[in-house]
Amino acid sequence: MTITEALRITQRAPRDARPLAVTLACGFTPLHVQTFLAAHLQKALPDRKVTIALGLYGSLAATLESLPDAAPPDALAIALEWPDLDPRLDYRSAGSWGLAAASDIVSSARVMLDRIAAALARIPSGPRVALSLPTLALPPLFHTPGWQASEPELALQSAVFQFAADVARGGRIAVINPQRLAEASSAAARHDLKSDLYIGLPFTTEHADKLASQLALALVPPSPKKGIISDLDDTLWDGIVGEVGPDAVTWDLTSHSHQHGLYQKLLGSLADAGTLIGIASKNDPAVVAKAFERKDLLLRPQQVFPIEVHWNAKSGSVARILETWNIAADSVIFVDDSPMELAEVAAAHPGIECVLFPKNDHKAFLAMLWHLRDRCGKERVSKDDALRLESIRQGAAFREQASAGAAPETFLQQIGASVTFDFSAAGEPRVLELVNKTNQFNLNGRRYAQADWQKLVSDESAVLAAVRYEDKFGPLGTIAAVAGQLNGAKTLAIEAWVMSCRAFARRIEHQTLKMLFDTTGVSAIEFRFTPTEKNGPLREFFATFLGEEPQSEFRLTRQQFEAKCPPLYHEVREMRRAEAHG
């Protein structure tokens, strides 16, 4: 991105849009970083108006300490550089460079890192925070020749990384990955000494752009993909299993096919973090089943569901996997070594991301591994992530029994379902994650910045419940959230209501409405509803009470609800603050 492009992007921001107030904290002249950060954020959030406020020149710690508690920004970007830790590390400083200075710099840097860490700990929980570690080289003030790292230099690096590990703990602060930044912006092309000395801007324009783009990604990360559907032959393993047999396909160093093993390991690690892994393969099911019995598979068979193996078109397999997962094609990546298969699936499932497995190109293969991690990686892994695949497996069993077994009412009566409403979950990251990634049962599709969400749920009149579900097939975890405000004693206005598609067909949404009427005592609930491309299931649900699908904000009375609510068989539990915190 050039400065000109960046300025034009920010100037195209809609004037009346909801503002996104970002504070950029850095000790140097922020000029280009500010321009590029605004542009990258504006690109990521075209319906917002990004504004960047600046901190105090020359004192990053003071900027952080002076952030207002009462009205913090929506987001905070911190660009730490060596001079922030000790002025003698600044090329603009007249402080001496010498043996005595070197060890003193290490001591004072540690003190300053402690001060910054303390300031970060005081920031209220609303704003999203991104932190970049020093990106410029240390000046040549140490006694060793440049090719040898001196003890003070290593001590400084160590102190910074320890600081970063401490502040990143808990996931509140996103630390920019120095390795990824180095790939985008080479170390030698980062510093502009003349600009540093003349105007206090130490970065080249290119480096300012690259750093700002990483900070923007950390502040507004894209939604991770929910699943990967993979081919088997020459993808999950090397060889055609139907030709060579289950024991002869390989993924090891000896066979020079270890890249397939690496691919299995990556899928396994993503599965552990809640990414769904499915298989679509044209093969003999019995042969594939034998291959999946092999003990040396690095992707555990229980991490994969469903497995679609037959000789029909892969687009059909993908359709069934998407149906089982109950997610849209644009949330999924399909990996295959055949361009023809990728094209067939892409044509049938617009929005799906198709990735070619580059079998004989190790450089491209490594890039693919990183791409999959980038697209599926998560900031934090919750208990619900670990539950996801198992609950889908159980969901398939649920649907099978529901359609083949007893009548629906009998079936629902017999599954031992329990619904837990947790009214103390305002600060739970899972709740906001659910609100921001759920599409089908979503009241209005509105996505919330952390600060906006905090404002909504911390209001005195706020009502918020996270909903957990369990039945004899197993727990689904936290699968729904509802948030709104009580307007006096008569009306409740619901601003956000989402439910995971994994939880459909269990009448959890009915139980949630009943809970809202019962706990608040209101006679009517107003819903801040907006139709979206994907919230058809929610519209259909409300049509059962209203007689037709809602088109805009609407009101539902207790009478309307009770007249059409089907029998509910759940055991209901409520968790209030004291109970939730033991």
Q: Residue 29 or residue 230: which is nearer to another protein going by CB?
A: 29
Our finding on whether 4 is near another protein (CB under 8 A) is yes
Q: Residue 3 or residue 313: which is nearer to another protein going by CB?
A: 3
For residue 242 the two structure tokens come to 């139907």
- Cα angle, residue 72 at apex, residues 66 and 77 outer, rounded to 5°: 80
Binding window for another protein (CB under 8 A); candidates: 70-78, 159-167, 195-203, 559-567: 195-203
Q: Which of 35, 135, 275, 442 binds another protein (CB under 8 A)?
A: 35
Distance CA 68, CA 64 (A): 9
- How near is the Cβ of 51 to another protein at its closest, in Å? 15
- How near is the Cβ of 201 to another protein at its closest, in Å? 7
- How near is the Cβ of 137 to another protein at its closest, in Å? 21
- How near is the Cβ of 206 to another protein at its closest, in Å? 11
DSSP 8-class letter at 83: G
Q: Which of 15, 194, 295, 581 binds another protein (CB under 8 A)?
A: 194
Our finding on whether 205 is near another protein (CB under 8 A) is yes
Query: Using an 8 Å Cβ cutoff, are 237 and 260 in contact?
Result: yes
Our finding on whether 248 is near another protein (CB under 8 A) is no
What residues form DSSP beta bridges with 233? Answer: 237
DSSP string, 270-318: HHHTT-EEEEEEES-HHHHHHHTT-TT-SS-GGG---EEEESS-HHHHH
Our finding on whether 8 is near another protein (CB under 8 A) is yes
Our finding on whether 91 is near another protein (CB under 8 A) is no
Q: Which of 11, 96, 148, 552 binds another protein (CB under 8 A)?
A: 11
Q: Which of 31, 138, 369, 402 binds another protein (CB under 8 A)?
A: 31
DSSP string, 420-454: EEETT-TT-HHHHHHHHH--SEESS-----HHHHH
3-state secondary structure 331-399: HEEEEECCHHHHHHHHHHCCCCEEEECCCCCHHHHHHHHHHHHHHHCCCCCCHHHHHHHHHHHHHHHHH
Q: Residue 58 or residue 377: which is nearer to another protein going by CB?
A: 58
With CA atoms as reference, report the closest residue to 578 among 420, 382, 422, 383: 422
Measured in whole angstroms, how far is the alpha carbon of residue 123 from the centre of its chain?
21
Binding window for another protein (CB under 8 A); candidates: 162-170, 196-204, 298-306, 370-378: 196-204
Q: Residue 1 or residue 249: which is nearer to another protein going by CB?
A: 1
> Who contacts 367 (Cβ-Cβ below 8 Å, separation ≥6)?
none
Distance CA 95, CA 111 (A): 18
Q: Which of 108, 195, 414, 560 binds another protein (CB under 8 A)?
A: 195
Q: Residue 3 or residue 396: which is nearer to another protein going by CB?
A: 3
Residue ranges that bind another protein, judged by CB under 8 A: 2-5, 7-8, 11, 29, 31-32, 35, 194-195, 198-199, 201, 205
